[in-house]
Amino acid sequence: MDTLLSAVFPVFYGGLGNLAAYLAAHVLLCLLPAFFIAGAMSALIPKETITRFLGRNSSKTVSYPAAAAAGSLLAVCSCTIVPLFAGIYKKGAGLGPAITFLFFAPAANILALVYTGGVIGPDLAIARFVLSLTFGIGIGLIMALLFRADDAAHDLATDSAFGAQGAGMGRMALVFLFVWVALLLAGTLKLDVLTGTYLDFQLPIGDAQGWQAALDRLVPYDAAKGEEGVSVQGVVLIALLASIGYSAWRGFENIVDGANAWTWISLALIAATLLVAALAVQPVDGALRIGLTGKFFAVAAALAALHVIVRHRLSEDELRDWLWESWRFVKQIFPLLVVGVFVVGMIRVLIRPEWIEMLAGTNSLTGNLAGVVFGVFMYFPTLVEVPIAKMFLDLGMHRGPLLAYLMSDPELSLQSILIISAIIGRKKTFTYVGLVALFSAVAGLIYGAWIDGTALFSLALYLAGFIAALAVLLAIASRRATASSLKGV
């Protein structure tokens, strides 16, 4: 019995530590704005605005590049992109463009590409961009082809119970959405102007360093391994997150009947917590140093703008609709996220770094599939996958499987798979996961072959052949679908 407990406890403890680190570091400035953005898209944007650019019947030469372009601007991980994916899909985006957006945003956004080029090399950054773009659009097209009947049915069922229909997108709704996106970017971008501290002061807390040392023992911190730990600030944020959860349940669950005192308490707590999350907090000798960062000022400015819009520019119905849709996304997604992060934390305890060289030391199919598997079960938040990839490279991973890892890690975390399944169904999710795994492995094989000396012209022919085969397949399917519809008439 003691042997069993000694074996199980570290695994269970690893899950708890991973969950605590994730809740402290990533839910507030990353996920909360994403939920509110998704709610705003669902409640305030007419379906026609989405379907004009991303609808299943819009031109493929417009919808798929537009989906990739929108994703390239968001430096977010798979967990944060899923609420945004849910928002555009629910509002009428075609399955194909929505999937391209879901794939491309975490895999090859601008910040990830710049960071990859700086840490590992520009060749890998270029390969990551070209192959992510090609395969992201390809996966979207294939999903649209395989599930075209479901996609058509979904298109007919996307009229929201709340959102305005038949009208263009209002200017204030656009401004409201833009400010939320700006808040999300301010909280996630790792730019010097945002991360730098401009003012600071100290709170006379004598044992702050002792508290931090105790937290480091409970939840280890090691940046080289992607272990984020939990800071004193993180403990405060977790407590505030729990209070937000309770007040939101009291204030949002029955929001269709109108706002109450708990509604405003919850919104005030959310604003205050976002500001606390944007501070730079550091235990020093005999005190706790509080730094006012560029991120703090940017978040404060965005919150001030949102306050003006909510209080003076949104009607009661628009406020109700936005909060209800946001709360609905939270209830659908957040429990699955918690379960997924906990399970991934347990699995990471079992995976040993020394397996990497043994499984992925060569550019083989097995090695690239191993890179994909590492991406799924050693999930790290956005941009953290890059230094982890550098560690894998130093441990002996071939650059081909390394690219497969970099394309799959932002995409296929266990928690995101669970959440996507709740949004589009198990069959579509399993198909998407299989396509991402396959094409990530193929991308690694292609890039790895180039690293091993295969001529670039030959690799270009392989890619051209893939695109041509996909185009032929789509053309045949389109003709068959047209013929079937004519027979039905």
Tens digits of residue pLDDT in 382-424: 566 776 777 778 777 888 888 888 888 777 777 788 888 888 8
CA 408 remoteness from chain centre: 12
C-alpha 318/C-alpha 153 separation (Å) is 27
* pLDDT tens figures, 205-219: 878 888 888 888 888
**pLDDT value of residue 266:** 94
**What is the token pair recorded at 236?**
């405060």
358-386 mean pLDDT: 76
C-alpha 89/C-alpha 83 separation (Å) is 10
**pLDDT value of residue 386:** 73
Would you tell me how many other CB atoms lie within 10 Å of the CB of residue 13? Answer: 15
* pLDDT tens figures, 430-462: 999 888 888 888 888 888 888 888 887 887 887
Query: Please, which residues have CB within 8 angstroms of residue 289's CB and are 6 or more apart in sequence?
Result: 200, 201, 202, 280, 281, 282, 283
**pLDDT value of residue 160:** 47
* pLDDT tens figures, 277-292: 999 988 888 888 999 9
Higher pLDDT, 196 or 219: 196
**pLDDT value of residue 272:** 93
Q: Answer whether residue 468 shows pLDDT above 60.
A: yes
**What is the token pair recorded at 277?**
């999350």
Q: Answer whether residue 167 shows pLDDT above 50.
A: no
Higher pLDDT, 440 or 28: 440
User: What stretch of H or E contains 234?
Assistant: helix 232-252
19-24 mean pLDDT: 78
Higher pLDDT, 356 or 489: 356
**pLDDT value of residue 308:** 93
**pLDDT value of residue 224:** 55
Which residue in 93, 77, 101, 87 sits closest to 40, CA to CA?
87
State what percent of residues in the chain have pLDDT above 90: 13
**pLDDT value of residue 198:** 92
Q: Is 295:194 a contact under the CB 8 Å cutoff?
A: yes
User: What stretch of H or E contains 222?
Assistant: strand 221-222
* pLDDT tens figures, 238-272: 999 999 999 999 999 988 888 899 999 999 999 99
Bridge pairing between strands 227-228 and 221-222: antiparallel
**pLDDT value of residue 276:** 92
**pLDDT value of residue 250:** 92
State what percent of residues in the chain have pLDDT above 70: 84
- Under the banding of pLDDT at 50, 70 and 90, the label for residue 157 is low
User: What stretch of H or E contains 462?
Assistant: helix 456-488
C-alpha 231/C-alpha 120 separation (Å) is 29
The DSSP symbol for 292 reads E
Q: Answer whether residue 165 shows pLDDT above 60.
A: no
What is the residue-wise DSSP string for 161-172? SSS--SSPPPHH
**What is the token pair recorded at 401?**
């499987």
**pLDDT value of residue 457:** 82
Give residue for tokens 């730079």: 280
CA 66 remoteness from chain centre: 18
pLDDT, averaged across the chain: 80
**pLDDT value of residue 353:** 62
**pLDDT value of residue 214:** 87
Higher pLDDT, 315 or 384: 315
- Under the banding of pLDDT at 50, 70 and 90, the label for residue 26 is low
Burial of 161-177, coded b for 16+ CB within 10 Å and e otherwise, reads: ebbbeeeebbeebeebb
Q: How much is the pTM?
A: 0.71
- Under the banding of pLDDT at 50, 70 and 90, the label for residue 5 is low
Among 113-122, 130-139, 299-308, 322-331, whose mean pLDDT is lowest? 113-122
Q: Answer whether residue 486 shows pLDDT above 60.
A: no
Q: Answer whether residue 166 shows pLDDT above 50.
A: no
**pLDDT value of residue 381:** 61
